[in-house]
């Protein structure tokens, strides 16, 4: 078993970007509010600025819906999962046959995105990329067009799809059909994509915000006076970094 290094740094939230010296580039981070407990988490498999927020009033799946091809192969199946709306937890049963996507035609050789969300009534609702009927040149563009989750709902996930030898028709063309590429993504609205944690490694330079040294010393970097640290930058998410909030940053590698 490999030895694990753990370090805790106490800071006061500012609501502005905070670069925190740890002494190493971490593999995972717990963000702990001294009064409320664990409020956020980040690991090295996530991208810069992301974090998973632990807040009971975020509408989110609690465990993954595990989207996949249904036994009805034009549909999207889900495993049994729990989700939360307005602080209230709900259970959703597995659906092997699956839910049919919107009957939109995605033109040959382009990408579309079919999204699936759920509300307190347990109904799986459809939320698709706006230009599916025109198609997107790349999968990345289709994903970038994924709409925001509807109020009082949780996003379960989405499917990106393209067909190289003809149009893809939602709810008709099977995801397993020849020359179809379909990618299934299960997501959580508790995972924020900005304002979270960004690792700071050797050679990275901080030129804005505030630097908190391991000693507790506060420094103000600028383009003319850059700072180097090994640690993280904690972003401006109101869930994770409010002015006056007493925080413990627990880093592991």
Q: Which residue has the tokens 């109020």?
A: 151
Beta bridge partners of 83: 61, 90
- For residues 199 and 218, give the distance between their C-alpha atoms in angstroms, rounded to a whole number: 19
Half-sphere exposure of 78 (CA within 13 A, CB side): 30
CA angle 69, 75, 81 (to 5 degrees): 70
pLDDT of residue 202: 85
**Distance (Å, whole) CA 176 – CA 100:** 14
Average pLDDT, the chain: 96
Q: How far apart are the first and last CA of the chain?
A: 13
Which band of pLDDT confidence, cut at 50, 70 and 90, is reported for residue 200? very high
Tell me the pTM.
0.84
CA–CA separation, 80 and 73 (whole Å): 19
In order of 40, 63, 69, 234, the CA distances from 248 in angstroms are 11, 26, 42, 12
**What pLDDT is attached to residue 2?**
58
CA distance 26 to 42: 10
Digit-coded pLDDT (tens) for 42-101:
999 999 999 999 999 999 999 999 999 999 999 999 999 999 999 999 999 999 999 999
**Residue 60 and residue 143: Cα distance in Å, rounded?**
19
**Domain residue ranges of the chain, discontinuous segments joined by +:** 6-55+192-252, 60-189
């Amino acid at each position: 078993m490999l030895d694990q290094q753990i370090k805790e740094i106490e800071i006061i939230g500012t609501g502005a970007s905070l670069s925190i010296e740890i002494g190493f580039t971490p593999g995972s981070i717990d963000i702990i509010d001294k009064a409320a407990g664990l409020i956020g988490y980040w690991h090295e498999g996530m991208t810069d600025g992301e974090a998973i927020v632990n807040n009971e009033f975020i509408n989110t799946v609690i465990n993954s819906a595990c989207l996949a091809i249904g036994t009805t192969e034009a549909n999207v199946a889900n495993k049994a999962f729990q989700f939360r709306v307005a602080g209230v937890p709900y259970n959703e049963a597995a659906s092997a046959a699956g839910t049919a996507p919107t009957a939109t035609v995605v033109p040959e050789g382009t990408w579309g995105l079919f999204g699936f969300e759920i509300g307190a009534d347990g109904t799986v609702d459809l939320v698709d990329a706006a230009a599916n009927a025109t198609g997107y040149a790349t999968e990345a563009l289709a994903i970038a067009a994924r709409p925001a989750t509807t109020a009082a709902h949780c996003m379960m996930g989405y499917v990106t799809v393209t067909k190289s030898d003809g149009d893809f028709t939602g709810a008709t063309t099977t995801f397993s059909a020849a020359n179809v590429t379909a990618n299934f993504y299960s997501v959580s609205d508790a995972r924020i994509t900005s304002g979270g944690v960004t690792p700071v490694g050797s050679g990275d330079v901080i030129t804005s915000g505030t630097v908190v040294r391991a000693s507790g010393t506060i420094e103000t970097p600028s383009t003319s006076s850059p700072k180097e640290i090994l640690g993280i930058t904690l972003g401006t998410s109101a869930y994770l970094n409010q002015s006056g909030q007493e925080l413990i940053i627990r880093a592991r590698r």
